[in-house]
Structure 1
Amino acid sequence: MPGFMTPDQIADRTARALGAAVAAGRDLGIEVDGATVLHDMFSVVVHLAPSPVVARVPVVLPPNTDPDRQAAQQQAELDVVDRLARKGAPVIPPSPLVPRKPVRRDGFSMTFWQFVEQDAEAEPDHVRNAGLVADLHAAMRDDPGELPFLSAAEPDFVTEGLAALESRPDLIEPADLGRAQREWETLEPFVRSREKFEGAFPAVGLQPIHGDAPAVNVVATRDGLLHSDFELVTFGPVEWDLAFLGPEGEAAYNAAARRLGIRELDEHTLHFVNAVGMCRTVAALALAPQLPVLVEAMKSSIERWRATPFAGDLDG
């Protein structure tokens, strides 16, 4: 596994992503005179000013990312969010100024979204947002699109990431890695097989879900709160979207679910998704050479995980 990218290398990657977004936007007929980077983490998010268009350019990816699979997932995101927007759901929609499809340019695959003015004074409120997730699930439950089962768990990435970490004791202690690998061995079959999952959780219905911490990915705008970043949209249990939010977030979701007349959260399924999420969190350390801040960012989660019981056998 390579060493950590330097600040200069990361700045160069950001500049290349920015340049690719500008070039792709201009090829699509968008006026771009003052592009601005709005966010730079796993993706470089670029406002193609003065046009009301934002390009999202993923830059931190597993080494063996399949371009066709990436494009298919991006297309699913665009299609699902477009349908939600047409139903009046509070989402940031795809840009109407360009074709609704991912664009590949200079080695990057990107999508284009409508620019919204954010409320810079708004404070994040993940508990409140957890209640909004119930409304989002209600809007998504009848979406007609075909989505793969629990693809948001990224099982190939978890398996490969944990294996890659075997040679990186500088990123994770061997005892922690060993536990994650044993837990993943128990959990993986239920992630990869809808039939096996439904056998273990027979009372839990499945539906289209956001896939990537929707309570965190709520954008406060001058016109209200909007859901964003459906990059991992998938088909699965609603509990997946509430992983790691804790009792307050779960209670807020359940209160909203009762109001809407939809299913409340299942404790057994929450245990499962939290355990899978931790395996995925540990595996994400394999991306730290591309994004060094992950080492510090994951530290508190791993410390809390050490104090939790081992994820036992879920079969039956």
Structure 2
Amino acid sequence: MEFEAEVARRLAETDSPIGELEPRVEPGVYLRDAFAITLWTYYEPVVADRQGGAAHEQPGMSTDLAPADYAHALVRLHAGLRKIDLAAPHITARIAGWAEGVGDPEQTPDLRDRDRELVSDTLSRVSAAISRWGSDEQLLHGEPHPANVLSTRRGPLFIDLGTCQRGPVEYDLAYVPDDVAEHYPGANQDLVHQFRILMWAGVTTMRWNRNDQYPNRDYWRIETLNQLRAALDRHGLD
């Protein structure tokens, strides 16, 4: 949490499109009883008017962002991340953690053998393929999926900054919808597809971990396996 607060503090100085820390208190982590708390600015959601095309505020609601706006905001975020000097793990550390989890039946005891083999083989094969691309690397958001983007009067704002890692921008693009990734200038879409396969294998591993507490976990355990198979099938991989 201290890492996330520090990322937010530094990015705010670059005018990056992020949800910022609450300015009325000192930035940092506050300890109360058994809880660690960070305090953030609240932004009223902006929802597109489906009839008139205008935007208005409706608390408690959200809407899909236009792909071009989403991609432009991510371009700005990546530009801001390049301006800050911050130690962060490389994406290979996260991939290694996924591989360890799927390879250890004690961590993923409910995963069937054939599904374990599918996820393990996918992590190995795609990781090997990605290592040959040699793309430029930088500090990344780590998980800029739609649930981590707010639609506000200031435009799209990214939240949940504690997942920052180092790697190519295509890793981040694997977490956004296809039409958003296609609007990102200069991205290697073939590499994005490889990372998307890798991402589904990793998320599958997390959902099948015995300690996972994700809401509706049983549904997502099956859904992530289905999404992984679909991603493999789309790109001609068995």
Q: Under TM normalisation by the shorter chain, which class is it?
A: 0.7 to 0.9
Matched, 1:280 2:222: no
Task: Quickly say closer, same or farther: Cα 1:284–1:224, change in 2 above 3 A.
Answer: same
* Separation (CA, whole Å) in 2 of partners of 1:154 and 1:100: 31
Matched, 1:125 2:56: no
* Separation (CA, whole Å) in 1 of partners of 2:215 and 2:62: 28
* Separation (CA, whole Å) in 1 of partners of 2:133 and 2:182: 21
How much has 1:251 moved relative to structure 2?
1.5
Matched, 1:88 2:15: yes
Aligned residues, how many?
A: 219
How much has 1:187 moved relative to structure 2?
5.0
* Separation (CA, whole Å) in 1 of partners of 2:80 and 2:122: 34
| Structure 2 residue runs without a partner (length 5+) | 47-57
Task: Quickly say closer, same or farther: Cα 1:107–1:180, change in 2 above 3 A.
Answer: farther
Within the candidate set 104, 109, 133, 1:201 is matched to 133
Task: Quickly say closer, same or farther: Cα 1:247–1:96, change in 2 above 3 A.
Answer: closer
Aligned residue number for residue 177 of structure 1: 116
* Separation (CA, whole Å) in 1 of partners of 2:88 and 2:169: 14
- SS at 2:199 equivalent: helix
Aligned residue number for residue 269 of structure 1: 191
How much has 1:213 moved relative to structure 2?
2.2
The answer to whether the 8 A contact 1:165-1:283 is kept is no
Task: Quickly say closer, same or farther: Cα 1:146–1:252, change in 2 above 3 A.
Answer: same
| Letter aligned with residue 73 of structure 2 | L
Within the candidate set 67, 78, 89, 1:148 is matched to 89
Deviations 1:195-224 (A, max 9, x none): xx4xx222x111111111254421123443
How much has 1:150 moved relative to structure 2?
1.6
Give the ranges of 4+ consecutive aligned residues of structure 1 lying more than 6 Å apart after TM superposition: none
| TM-score, scaled relative to structure 1 | 0.59
The answer to whether the 8 A contact 1:132-1:215 is kept is no
| Structure 1 residue runs without a partner (length 5+) | 1-73, 192-196, 255-263
| TM-score, scaled relative to structure 2 | 0.75
How much has 1:253 moved relative to structure 2?
1.6
* Separation (CA, whole Å) in 1 of partners of 2:143 and 2:199: 11
Structure possessing the higher radius of gyration over alpha carbons: 1
Within the candidate set 146, 149, 167, 2:109 is matched to 167
Aligned residue number for residue 44 of structure 1: none
Query: What is the RMSD computed on CA atoms of the aligned residues?
Result: 3.1
